[in-house]
Amino acid sequence: MNNPLPDVALTEVSSALVSLDWVGMQVVEVPVRLAEAGVRHPVHAHVDLQVDLADPSVKGIHMSRLYRLLDRYAEHQILSPDTLGALMEAMVESHLDCHSSRARLTLSFNLLCRRPALITEGLSGWKSYPVKLDATWHAGRLCLDVSADITYSSTCPCSAALSRQLLEGAFTARFGRQSFVDPMQVATWLRENASFATPHSQRSVATVQVRVAEQATELGLMTLIDAVEQALGTPVQTAVK
């Protein structure tokens, strides 16, 4: 005799009925195509996607619906504010039977592109930029934030403080007993001893986050990265001859 298997999703009723802000899936891996200069191939992206569960009597969402929407998006669309908004609108519409009205999506990947050498003309190398998109959809509006991590060369503040202290001590030892110091003597001494102690350089990471304008038609990732590297002034080398 075959006994039917229990299905608690259908037969059990929770004693605490509450709505949920977000329900969905995390770290879904898909290839994503970008409309960025120098980026020819899809990037390997990790996606979190959720919708709200407003009706306390509904026991769960349909995750397969979200996955299928994301899978079709990855296969047929290029990542942009317009296509992302359409995807998230479809996520909400796919769960109208759950009374969902909001969607949230986080997409992260490494943007790998060629960057020219800082000095040698015609030489270039590969550089990777971690990028993250945080998007929400509600009442027909897309809210999209883009962040990028840019590695650059900087001076260690601790070693810089130590080098200044040593230079101060050396200067005091040389001129501390004089009531008057000739500027030319100081200039000569500095020319010979200013590098008495040299702070070491290090790699730092600048994390920049911007809000994408509602009327924007593209993400402009490389434009953002170029602007940040130009402002920093010390981008990390990709290739050195």
pLDDT in tens, 98-156: 899 999 999 999 999 888 877 788 888 888 999 999 999 999 999 999 999 998 876 66
* Residue 79 resides in a domain: yes
Do 174 and 61 belong to one domain? no
Give mean pLDDT, residues 152-174: 73
* Residue 224 resides in a domain: no
Number of domains in the chain: 2
The confidence score (pLDDT) of residue 198 equals 67
* Residue 5 resides in a domain: no
Do 135 and 92 belong to one domain? yes
pLDDT band at 7 (very low <50, low <70, confident <90, very high): low
Compare 85 and 195 and report the one with higher pLDDT. Answer: 85
Compare 110 and 187 and report the one with higher pLDDT. Answer: 110
Give mean pLDDT, residues 182-186: 83
* Residue 171 resides in a domain: yes
* Residue 169 resides in a domain: yes
The confidence score (pLDDT) of residue 10 equals 54
Do 61 and 137 belong to one domain? yes
Do 52 and 76 belong to one domain? yes
Do 29 and 120 belong to one domain? yes
E strands, the chain, where? 20-34, 43-53, 78-79, 102-116, 124-138, 141-155, 201-211
Do 120 and 178 belong to one domain? no
Give mean pLDDT, residues 207-236: 91
The confidence score (pLDDT) of residue 234 equals 79
What is the CATH number for 69?
A: 3.10.270.10
Do 95 and 109 belong to one domain? yes
The confidence score (pLDDT) of residue 2 equals 72
The confidence score (pLDDT) of residue 8 equals 54
Name the token pair of 121.
């003309």
Do 130 and 178 belong to one domain? no
pLDDT above 80: residue 91: yes
The confidence score (pLDDT) of residue 114 equals 86
Give mean pLDDT, residues 11-18: 64
The confidence score (pLDDT) of residue 199 equals 62
Do 108 and 209 belong to one domain? yes
Q: Which of 139, 147, 135, 20 is nearest to 70 (CA)?
A: 135
* Residue 124 resides in a domain: yes
The confidence score (pLDDT) of residue 56 equals 81
Contact predicate 236/151, CB 8 Å: yes
Q: What single-letter amino acid sits at 77? A: Q
Do 131 and 31 belong to one domain? yes
How high does pLDDT run on average in the chain?
86
- Which residues, other chains included, contact 218 with Cβ-Cβ below 8 Å and sequence gap of 6+? 35, 80, 81
* Residue 181 resides in a domain: yes
Compare 12 and 148 and report the one with higher pLDDT. Answer: 148
The confidence score (pLDDT) of residue 82 equals 96
* Residue 58 resides in a domain: yes
Give mean pLDDT, residues 215-224: 93
Asked whether the CA dihedral 216, 220, 224, 226 is positive or negative, the reply is negative
The confidence score (pLDDT) of residue 204 equals 84
Range(s) of the domain holding residue 122: 22-151+205-219
Do 80 and 170 belong to one domain? no
The confidence score (pLDDT) of residue 175 equals 80
The confidence score (pLDDT) of residue 9 equals 53
Structure-token match 């026991």, residue found:
59
pLDDT above 60: residue 172: yes
Do 189 and 210 belong to one domain? no
